[in-house]
A = this chain, B = another copy of it.
């Protein structure tokens, strides 16, 4: 199984429109520092699962027949924006899994088109997909949100990768589950530098405290805002191979 990050930025992405901060200027000069809105594609054999539907090139990148399912973390616009285009396609439906949020986003449920929204997922009830187990775990956000833990077992060895966005901190039951079920890699929402304590998203101090509590092998930060990207340029020693800012296009094998 391979997870590829299609984007690692927050709703404003990097560079932010009109911004001349150090992180945004760097991204304008060198596209490898750009951060699209956070989403990922998971490849399992010949199957492709998309986590969130916000990639601006979603329809081009995933031609008809190439997507086996879409898993949504939640129904905020910056995570489902491209589904408003995809739904008007024709042909085979695409399975869409997500949290139990009867409101969805705008009129997505009213006019689903080719999007086949499935029964909402139940937290901590894993779904088997092509030999991989995917466990939804509740997150702490302003809209009902689920993280997903991917689990493989080979020769008795269990490997887990957790994808946790959007969230600020973690609900007690999710924290407990992640401690009880050791995770190799956590990719987690971290929008802000220290002291930028907006609700709904982690700042980097809070993310590091979660790292220390859960003790995964590694934690990669996603849903990164430009202020955190600036702060990270000034504080490189805060990061290392086990606690790092993930990059667009970065791949993780499980």
Are B107 and A77 in contact (CB-based, < 8 A)?
Answer: yes
| Among A8-16, A162-170, A243-251, the stretch in contact with B | A8-16
Q: Of B19, B64, B84, B114, which contacts A90 at CB under 8 A?
A: B19
Write the nearest CB–CB distance from A206 to chain B, whole angstroms.
22
A78's nearest neighbour on chain B, judged by CB, is B84
The reply to whether the CB of A217 lies closer than 8 angstroms to some CB of chain B is no
Q: Of B19, B64, B106, which contacts A77 at CB under 8 A?
A: B106
The reply to whether the CB of A198 lies closer than 8 angstroms to some CB of chain B is no
Are B13 and A85 in contact (CB-based, < 8 A)?
Answer: yes
The reply to whether the CB of A31 lies closer than 8 angstroms to some CB of chain B is no
Are B81 and A84 in contact (CB-based, < 8 A)?
Answer: yes
Q: Could you give, for residues 50-94 of chain A, a 1 whenever the CB lies within 8 Å of some chain B CB and a 0 otherwise?
A: 000000100100001100000000000110010011101111100
Given contacts A17-B64, A105-B106, contact A12 B84 (CB under 8 A): no
A173 to B92, CA, bound (A): 44
Are A16 and B106 in contact (CB-based, < 8 A)?
Answer: no
A84 — which chain B residues lie within 8 A by C-beta? 11, 77-78, 81
A residues lining the B interface (CB < 8 Å) = 11-13, 16-19, 56, 59, 64-65, 77-78, 81, 84-86, 88-92, 105-107, 114
